[in-house]
């Protein structure tokens, strides 16, 4: 059993080739892992800070509900969307959130297939974050369709009233399928991974309601070897299915733009560039959430500095990919010799949206370079600041792509300058309320750490 | 909590549970048990212990094959869904017809464009199959597992490892098996017993289920009770959906703006809710200054037409009154002719109207739509409406002026009825015939004129017309040929048009109609 731990003993970011770096610190054994992971959930009273955060998040959520109601009652005119920028902030926000929703499945699926054991401590929280981000993402196109009450026209359901089917050759419909498939598969993956840990909750909870709910959710899991056998194969299958899926989702989101003919959108670099950007922003969001969460819930021994450092390295790598893509876009715009294409990119960097463009460049390309310095990527408060900048930059990336191209379409007479309304701004800010509410409730009532997986990667010797 | 009963009647021995403290000793014990000949046993652990599958003889699951099967069928479902919904090929087979999107001439079904959705359907189907298949193969959810009643077993989801030798196994022996478990290193051994006293479903569950089912049935029952009923109230409008808008509809009265007061205060004094165009305003695309094309009136007489008026263009107010009287008397021709200036009508087709086979075909088609109902397909004034109305009029059930036969001598030939006049007849109506300018565009009116002239050239006679009249028509025709170059062309065009019609083999085409009329005439004679 772990006793008092020297805070300096929590630094496992050194590299020693002679032995494996421990991923669980503080000499925790199986029991210790369970108790550390369940600590926050088992606490009789949640700390005040959790209540304050939840209150703030739920206030924003309430405002979001009011704003959506206002939108539905008044129509999409309450947004700044207007000729020629019919895709305004709702689509920017959608791409922003769905991009964030890529890290979880990437961590749980791709890192799983690559046998990256360090994923186990962070995958549960990252998957939860994925699902909550996809909820926020799905909301925006959902309310953007104008007549929300006939949203089911998006799906191939025969309706006598409409007497039409969706157009299966339209990227927007591919998007419906991609995002809803992604949401469903992520949810299944998340829930399936959680069942053994919910069984732990079932066996530890003292409240009657808890016994009932966790008993129901854990489906009577016993940890039988036969069950584990099928469970592991199913997990690998889901990981193998989710890997191409996660790459397809942002690819298809990029098709929304790339398949159209608009200068600045009609480029083949979009799919890889969007996927890299999605991983970039997703990991930044995971770091932003986990640094305060590990401090608040006492998870430093499980979510170690090494985990955070690894994520920061991925952020830096994907940041460089995104930066390369920005450069290639300019090169192609010049190399194509197409006047409108060149103009579109010149206009991004030096036109009337140049302020947004340079925010994007500095946040996405310049600031992550700090992670070359070891101090920057191993100092928790500093990495959070960098990651927040990354997400600001990634929001502006989607803003630049969507708005600058739309505001400079083929007809100069219709060129315009997009201005958001207070509803636009309110909905972006309040979508964080929805996201945070879900995440805070998750932290309190569901297993934040994949205990069964962490135990599985603990070294066999020296655990007691 | 473990059931502390030792009464064998109340419970049944399921197996023996041995506890181990680490995965290595569990695997070792499993190997021992397999070597001792145990087959029905299972190991329980907080995480998957590697090497345990061969130790207790677990065969590889068939789950991947099931998922492969689901994925392969999803390929066909995905492609089939798109093929069916985006084409009309399967309309005969399905209750809901497909909807082919014709966009920029792109193919209705193209594999590259249909791959993304197919891919997503494959992944979705496979993932759901994996998820459900895994639980079903694992026989979960199963909440009533006797293992859950053993308090020691609660640590299986935390840090302890268990081996359960099942009582069903041939090798199982209560005391011998316990000794073996102890020998293999079990820290503790405990019986797993199934409680037989508490197997009934709690009483509240069926009650709650029935109550819930009834409550769930209420809304659909309420909806179905209205099925086929008539209701004088407007239907429930859950979502207004732009159905009521703040606007004045056309053809409605000026709204009363005297809100909440009794007196009527119209928004517009003329009682209309819409405003009329300013005098002299010409709607876009309707500037008809070419009098020959638009009115069939020679340029020299263009000043006599009151442009943009709804009244007949060719007649003065007085003559119109005269003609109206004549019409009422059922004898319009003399009155109209008395004041009509025959000089004004164009005798040749105006510039821009070229009499070709296409024009005649078009004219025939339009004639059959708009004119044949009264004038008949052959223009002999015996259309279905006319026949029916005449029959009613004969019984005194209706008043009806017979439709004109286009083969009457006084409506044939350039002298009596030049093309301009026929055009004017179609445009503004004549006698009891109403104007057709609203229904038929200018080009089509001229096409009909051409076709009418062609019909007149066929030499058909009006029903009941005498030979002399027919003779006269013939003379006129020959005159016409010499006078007008167009006529020759018309004649040949007309022949070919007729041939074409015959080929079409329509029941109602003019050829058969002609035959029929001829037949009827013979019968009459």
A340-345: long-range contacts (C-beta < 8 A, 24 or more apart)?
A340/A263, A340/A410, A341/A263, A341/A264, A343/A263, A343/A408, A344/A263, A344/A264, A344/A404, A344/A405, A344/A408, A345/A264
Residue A237 has its nearest CB partner, among B22, B81, B130, at B130
Residue A212 CB coordination number (10 Å): 12
Q: Is A416 helix (H, G, I), strand (E, B) or coil?
A: coil
Distance separating alpha carbons of residues A391 and A398, to the nearest angstrom: 11
Contacts of B127 in chain A (CB under 8 A): 184-185, 188-189, 238, 241-242, 245
Is B251 a member of any domain? no
Of the residues B197, B220, B239, the one at which a domain ends: B197
Place of tokens 């004969």: B394
Domain of residue A260 covers 7-457
Contacts of B157 in chain A (CB under 8 A): 196-197, 199-200, 202-204, 221, 223
Contacts of B130 in chain A (CB under 8 A): 188, 234, 237-238, 241
pLDDT band for position B7 (cuts 50, 70, 90): low
Mutate to test the interface with B, among A115, A167, A234, A460 (most CBs of B within 10 A): A234
Residue B123 has its nearest CB partner, among A225, A245, A455, at A245
Task: Tell me whether the omega of the peptide bond preceding residue B412 falls within 30 degrees of 0, making it cis.
Answer: no
Residue B63 has its nearest CB partner, among A233, A245, A255, at A233
A&B contacts, CB < 8 Å: 202
Is A462 a member of any domain? no
With an 8 Å Cβ cutoff, are A219 and B116 in contact?
A: no
Query: DSSP readout, A10-70?
Result: G------TTSPPPSS-TT--HHHHHHHHHHHHH-SS--HHHHHHHHHHHHHHHHHHHHHHH
Distance separating alpha carbons of residues A191 and A235, to the nearest angstrom: 11
Of the residues B143, B165, B197, the one at which a domain ends: B197
Is A378 a member of any domain? yes
pLDDT band for position A181 (cuts 50, 70, 90): very high
Query: DSSP readout, B374-402?
Result: HH-TTSSS--HHHHHHHHHHHTTS---PP
Predicted pLDDT of residue A388:
96
Residues in chain A: 464
Q: State the pTM of this model.
A: 0.73
The pLDDT tens digits of the residues spanning B278-297 come to 887 888 877 777 888 888 88
Residue A64: is it exposed, middle or buried by C-beta count within 10 angstroms (0-12/13-18/19+)?
buried
CA angle B29, B33, B34 (to 5 degrees): 120
Domain of residue B182 covers 1-197
Is A388 a member of any domain? yes
Query: DSSP readout, A272-293?
Result: HHHHHHHHHHHHHHHHHHHHHH
Structure ipTM: 0.92
pLDDT at B399 over 90: no
Q: Are residues B19 and B129 in the same domain?
A: yes
Distance of CA B110 to the CA centre of its chain: 23
Distance separating alpha carbons of residues A307 and A294, to the nearest angstrom: 11
Is A464 a member of any domain? no
Q: Are residues B84 and B187 in the same domain?
A: yes
**What percent of chain A is predicted at pLDDT more than 70?**
95
Our count of domains for chain A comes to 1
- Which has the minimum average pLDDT: A81-95, B167-181, B256-270? B256-270
Is A2 a member of any domain? no
With an 8 Å Cβ cutoff, are A220 and B46 in contact?
A: no
Is B469 a member of any domain? yes
Which helix (H) or strand (E) covers residue B188, if one does? strand B188-195
Nearest to A458 by CA among A5, A4, A32: A32
Question: Average pLDDT, whole number, for chain A?
Answer: 89
Is A115 a member of any domain? yes
Q: Are residues B311 and B187 in the same domain?
A: no
Distance separating alpha carbons of residues A230 and A233, to the nearest angstrom: 5
Our count of domains for chain B comes to 2
Predicted pLDDT of residue B325:
44
Nearest chain A residue to B67 by CA distance is A237
Q: What is the CATH number of the domain that holds A161?
A: 1.20.1630.10
- Which has the minimum average pLDDT: A378-387, A435-444, B112-121, B404-413? B404-413
The pLDDT tens digits of the residues spanning A261-309 come to 888 899 899 999 999 999 999 999 999 999 999 898 888 888 988 899 9
Distance separating alpha carbons of residues A127 and A133, to the nearest angstrom: 10
Is B400 a member of any domain? yes
The answer to whether residues A249 and A255 touch, using CB atoms and an 8 Å cutoff, is no
Q: Are residues B438 and B326 in the same domain?
A: yes
Of the residues B197, B215, B242, the one at which a domain ends: B197
Contacts of A455 in chain B (CB under 8 A): 46-47, 159
CA angle B70, B76, B78 (to 5 degrees): 90
Is A435 a member of any domain? yes
With an 8 Å Cβ cutoff, are A165 and B67 in contact?
A: no
């Amino acid at each position: 059993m772990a006793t008092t731990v020297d805070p300096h003993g929590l630094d496992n970011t050194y590299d020693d080739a002679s032995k494996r770096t421990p991923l669980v610190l503080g000499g925790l054994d199986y029991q210790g892992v369970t108790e550390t992971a369940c600590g926050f959930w088992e606490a009789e009273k949640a700390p005040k800070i959790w209540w304050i955060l939840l209150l703030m998040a739920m206030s924003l959520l309430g405002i979001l509900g009011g704003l959506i109601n206002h939108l539905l009652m008044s129509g999409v005119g309450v947004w700044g969307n207007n000729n020629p920028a019919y895709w305004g902030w709702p689509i920017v926000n959608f791409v922003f959130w769905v991009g964030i929703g890529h890290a979880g499945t990437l961590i749980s699926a791709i890192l799983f297939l690559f046998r990256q054991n360090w994923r186990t401590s962070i995958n549960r929280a990252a998957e939860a974050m994925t699902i909550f981000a996809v909820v926020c993402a799905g909301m925006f196109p959902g309310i953007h369709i104008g007549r929300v009450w006939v949203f089911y026209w998006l799906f191939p359901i025969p309706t006598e009233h409409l007497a039409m089917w969706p157009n299966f050759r339209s990227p927007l419909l591919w998007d419906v399928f991609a995002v809803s498939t992604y949401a469903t598969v992520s949810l299944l993956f998340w829930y399936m991974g959680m069942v053994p840990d919910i069984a732990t909750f079932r066996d530890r909870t003292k409240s009657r309601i808890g016994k009932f709910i966790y008993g129901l959710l854990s489906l009577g899991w016993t940890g039988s070897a036969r069950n584990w056998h099928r469970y592991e194969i199913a997990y690998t299958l889901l990981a193998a299915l989710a890997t191409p899926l996660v790459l397809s989702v942002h690819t298809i989101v990029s098709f929304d733009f790339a398949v159209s003919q608009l200068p600045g959108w009609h480029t083949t670099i979009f799919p890889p560039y969007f996927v890299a950007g999605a991983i970039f922003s997703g990991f930044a969001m995971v770091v932003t959430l986990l640094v305060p969460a590990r401090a608040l819930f006492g998870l430093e021994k499980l979510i170690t500095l090494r985990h955070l450092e690894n994520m920061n390295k991925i952020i830096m790598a994907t940041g460089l990919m995104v930066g390369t893509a920005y450069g290639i876009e300019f090169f192609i715009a010049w190399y194509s010799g197409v006047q409108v294409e060149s103009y579109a990119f010149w206009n991004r960097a030096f036109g009337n949206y140049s302020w947004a463009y340079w925010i994007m460049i500095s946040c996405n390309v310049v600031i992550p370079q700090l992670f070359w310095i070891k101090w920057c990527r191993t100092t928790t408060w500093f990495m959070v600041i960098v990651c927040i900048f990354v997400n600001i930059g990634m929001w502006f990336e989607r803003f630049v792509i969507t708005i600058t191209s739309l505001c400079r379409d083929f007809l100069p007479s219709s060129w315009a300058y997009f201005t958001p309304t207070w509803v636009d701004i309110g909905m972006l800010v309040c979508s964080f309320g929805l996201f945070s509410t879900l995440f805070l409730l998750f932290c309190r009532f569901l297993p934040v750490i994949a205990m069964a997986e962490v135990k599985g990667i603990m070294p066999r010797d020296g655990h007691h | 909590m473990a059931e502390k009963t030792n009464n064998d009647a109340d419970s049944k021995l399921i197996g023996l549970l041995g506890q181990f403290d680490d995965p290595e000793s569990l695997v070792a014990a499993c190997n021992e048990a397999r070597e001792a000949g145990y087959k029905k046993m299972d190991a329980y652990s907080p995480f998957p212990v590697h090497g345990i599958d061969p130790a207790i003889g677990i065969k590889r699951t068939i789950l991947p094959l099931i998922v492969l099967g689901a994925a392969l069928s999803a390929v066909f479902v995905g492609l089939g869904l798109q093929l069916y919904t985006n084409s009309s090929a399967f309309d005969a087979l399905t209750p809901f017809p497909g909807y082919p999107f014709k966009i920029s001439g792109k193919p209705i079904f193209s594999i590259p464009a249909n791959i993304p959705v197919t891919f997503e359907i494959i992944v979705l189907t496979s993932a759901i199959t994996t998820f459900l298949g895994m639980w079903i193969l694992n026989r979960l959810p199963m909440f009533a597992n006797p293992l859950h009643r053993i308090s020691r077993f609660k640590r299986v989801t935390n840090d302890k490892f268990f081996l359960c030798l099942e009582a069903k196994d041939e090798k199982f022996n209560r005391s011998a098996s316990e000794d073996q478990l102890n020998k293999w290193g079990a820290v503790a051994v405990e019986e797993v017993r199934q409680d037989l006293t508490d197997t009934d479903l709690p009483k509240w569950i069926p009650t709650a289920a029935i109550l819930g089912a009834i409550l769930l049935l209420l809304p659909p029952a309420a909806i179905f009770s209205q099925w086929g009923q008539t209701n004088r109230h407007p239907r429930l409008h859950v979502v207004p959906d732009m159905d009521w808008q703040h606007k004045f509809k056309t053809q409605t009265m000026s709204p009363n703006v005297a809100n909440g007061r009794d007196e009527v205060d119209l928004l517009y004094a003329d009682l209309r809710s819409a405003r009329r165009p300013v005098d002299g305003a010409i709607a876009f695309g309707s500037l008809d200054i070419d009098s020959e094309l638009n009115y069939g009136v020679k340029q020299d007489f263009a000043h006599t037409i009151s442009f943009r008026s709804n009244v007949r263009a060719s007649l003065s107010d007085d003559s119109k009154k005269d003609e109206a009287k004549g019409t009422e008397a059922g004898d319009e021709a003399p009155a109209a002719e008395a004041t009509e200036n025959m000089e004004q009508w164009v005798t040749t087709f105006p510039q821009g109207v070229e009499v070709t086979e296409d024009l005649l075909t078009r004219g025939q088609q339009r004639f059959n739509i708009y004119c044949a109902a009264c004038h008949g397909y052959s223009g002999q004034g015996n259309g279905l409406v006319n026949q029916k109305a005449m029959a009613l009029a004969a019984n005194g059930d209706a008043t009806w002026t017979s439709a004109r036969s286009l083969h009457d001598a006084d409506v044939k030939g350039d002298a009596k009825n030049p093309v301009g006049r026929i055009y004017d007849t179609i445009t503004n109506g004549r006698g009891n015939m109403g104007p057709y300018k609203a229904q038929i565009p200018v080009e089509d009116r001229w096409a009909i004129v051409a076709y009418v002239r062609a019909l007149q050239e066929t030499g058909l006679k009006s029903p009941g017309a005498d030979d002399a009249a027919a003779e006269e028509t013939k003379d006129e025709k020959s005159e016409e040929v010499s006078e007008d170059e167009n006529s020759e062309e018309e004649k040949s065009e007309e022949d070919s048009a007729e041939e074409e019609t015959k080929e079409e083999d329509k029941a109602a085409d003019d050829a058969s109609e002609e035959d029929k009329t001829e037949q009827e005439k013979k019968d009459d004679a």
